[in-house]
Amino acid sequence: MNRSDVLISAAELLRLQASSRAPRLLDVRWTLPKPDGRDDFAAGHIPGAIYVDLDTELADHANTEATAGRHPLPSAGQFQDTVRSWGIDSDTEVVVYDANSSLGAARAWWLLRWAGLNARVLDGGLAAYEAAGGEVEIGASPEVAPSSVSISPGSLPIIDAADVSAWDGVLLDARAAERFRGETEPLDPQAGHIPGAKNAPATENVRDGAFLDEAALRQRFTALGALESPVGVYCGSGVTACHNALALATLGVQASLYPASWSGWSADPERPVETRG
């Protein structure tokens, strides 16, 4: 996997839309302060895009076990039903995007790749599309005919708390530095980070909403030791960790996701915590 397998430019998307190979577009208009982006989607989105609700379609909140974290992954059966509702088949080209530096889109990308399906993220998101001359439409998601696709779950690696405890490699924490250091914790049971983890804020993978170029990303992850050893990624609840997994995938590195992340780890009083930088 390389950068062109993972990301698509706005210019390339516009060319595909004008051809007979128009991709299925998924709009993950989600932010942590405003998880329901339905009204933002309705106010303007790429023509033909389907709105994706991260909290209900890309997570399983029926799983109330604290150690599963705040955004547990949907089961294979749940996600297969969701993919079918989007009208995606095994050979469908899928492009996911958002308006928040691809932080939500990366979760959809990861799940689709985990399911063995083809997906890319629109580099720069909605803003890049409009800057390239793309027009937006308003209104709700279009009706699409459901598919009967069968997914292949497990196509990307997942690790659990036991794996993390014994991890023989680099473990990257995608949260902001102050949360990593334990100076503040607005969401989860304890402040701090998993012992031995390195801080790699997902927001530093991008500049002005678009991913850094290959050389800059390579320099960033080389400095973290993430190009020389097995890599595990986590964050607060397993969403922005996918952004680090995506950035690493542009460099040909496959990371293992710890879905429960800090919210799951810190909910277990038996798990150790570090609070230094």
Q: Tens-of-pLDDT digits for all 277 residues of the chain?
A: 899 999 999 999 999 999 988 899 999 999 999 999 999 999 999 999 999 999 999 999 788 899 999 999 999 999 999 999 999 999 999 999 999 999 999 999 999 999 999 999 999 999 999 999 999 999 999 999 999 999 999 999 999 999 999 999 999 999 999 999 999 999 999 999 999 999 999 999 999 999 999 999 999 999 999 999 999 999 999 999 999 999 999 999 999 999 999 999 999 999 999 998 6
**pTM value surpassing 0.85:** yes
Is residue 62 located within the same domain as residue 125? Answer: yes
The answer as to whether 272 is a domain residue is no
Q: Indicate if 235 belongs to the active site.
A: yes
Note whether 172 and 61 are same-domain residues.
no
| Residues 119, 185 within the same domain | no
Say if residue 35 is in the same domain as residue 110: yes
Asked which of 78, 113, 131 is the last residue of a domain, the reply is: 131
Is position 15 within any domain? yes
Q: Which of 10, 96, 235, 255 is catalytic?
A: 235
Cα–Cα dist 175/194, whole Å = 12
Q: Is residue 140 part of a domain?
A: no
Neighbours of 47 (CB within 10 A): 12
C-beta separation of 226 from 170 below 8 A: yes
